Amino acid sequence: MSDAHGAGRHNHEPWFSRMIDALEEQARAQRTITYAELAEAAGITGPHRIHRLTEALEDLTTRDHRISQPLRSAVAISKARDGLPGPGFFQHCAGLGLYFGPDHGPQAETFHRLELNRLFVRYG
């Protein structure tokens, strides 16, 4: 974990710090951002850009959890899921022991809202 912003397989990418800056900007504004908008803001180009973005978000989630911080990745949502992150967000959080439930529905919505609230308080 050498990078103060985050760590993992993508922290050497030139777009990684721009992704984090965009997430933190949205958190300060108390807004969410879609994966496509975040990829654009970070300047991620090429094939599989959303896949690379979601891997980087998982890395960031792991790092934030390890240092007991609100999950900055909660700001990123899927355009197709009515304001929720993709299933991978919930599955990754479950793997970290942060969440125990389905990747959709009221329980997922509550977990996401609570995590957003923690983040908005931190960056507010």
What is the pTM for the complete model shown? 0.89
Query: What single DSSP character describes residue 4?
Result: S
**Is it the case that residue 5 has pLDDT exceeding 90?**
no
Q: Which residues contact 95 (CB under 8 A, 6 or more apart)?
A: none
Residue 41: CB atoms within 10 A of its CB come to 17
**Where would I find the H helices in the chain?**
16-28, 35-42, 49-66, 87-95, 106-123
Amino acid 2: pLDDT: 35
Question: Across residues 14-33, what is the average pLDDT?
Answer: 96
